């Protein structure tokens, strides 16, 4: 199987006139949420082998805390600009550029695009809505190619947090 884990960033500090939305850091609650996400990832047995992270400060901090809690190397050296407030189509394009050697990708981004992306892959009765630090996994057949993924190829979409 191929797995895509979708993670909305943890709670950020409230908007302030002296700081851009892009540069808002995590709140104390957000740091605790990010640590809790690590517990969920570990319990689900996900072995993340590639990261796609928005360059916004709150997503970078979320990813960093997650990596530290899981005891794995820092997640990325290059961030995906299209994930910052990206549309589902932009998220799909970013995903399709991944190498085939990966079996479990983690995408750390923002709403509304991330929740809309999850809903496109979901076949359930309740629409997926990711709150702050919301985590959802999407499963694809092992033979699926990252380069040719599309929503209808998802075999499972389940919210973990």
Cis status of the peptide bond prior to 112, with omega within 30 of 0: yes
User: 133-152 pLDDT, tens per residue?
Assistant: 999 999 999 888 999 988 98
Q: How far is CA 24 from CA 9, 13, 17, 146, in A?
A: 11, 6, 11, 31
**Predicted confidence (pLDDT) at residue 21 exceeds the cutoff of 80:** yes
Are 107 and 95 in contact by the 8 Å Cβ rule? The answer is yes
Instruction: Look at residue 77 in the predicted model and tell me its pLDDT.
Output: 66
Provide the domain limits for residue 138: 2-159
Q: Check which CATH number belongs to the domain holding 138 and give it.
A: 3.40.50.1240
Our CA angle for 115, 85, 152, nearest 5°, is 40
For the chain, the domain total comes to 1
pTM of the model: 0.94
User: 102-127 pLDDT, tens per residue?
Assistant: 899 999 999 999 999 999 988 766 77
């Amino acid at each position: 199987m191929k797995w895509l884990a979708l993670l909305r960033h943890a709670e950020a500090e409230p908007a302030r006139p002296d700081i851009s939305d892009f540069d808002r850091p995590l709140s104390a609650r957000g740091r605790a949420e990010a640590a809790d996400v690590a517990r969920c990832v570990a319990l689900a047995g996900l072995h993340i082998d590639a990261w796609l992270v928005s360059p916004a400060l709150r997503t970078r901090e979320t990813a960093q805390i997650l990596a530290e809690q899981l005891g794995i190397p820092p997640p990325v050296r290059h961030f995906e600009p299209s994930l910052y407030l990206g549309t589902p189509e932009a998220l799909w394009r970013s995903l399709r550029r991944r190498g085939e050697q990966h079996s479990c990708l983690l995408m750390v981004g923002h709403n509304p695009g991330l929740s809309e992306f999850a809903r496109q892959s979901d076949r359930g009765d309740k629409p997926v809505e990711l709150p702050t630090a919301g985590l959802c996994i999407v499963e694809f057949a092992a033979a699926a190619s990252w380069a040719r993924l599309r929503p209808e190829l998802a075999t499972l979409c389940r919210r973990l947090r």
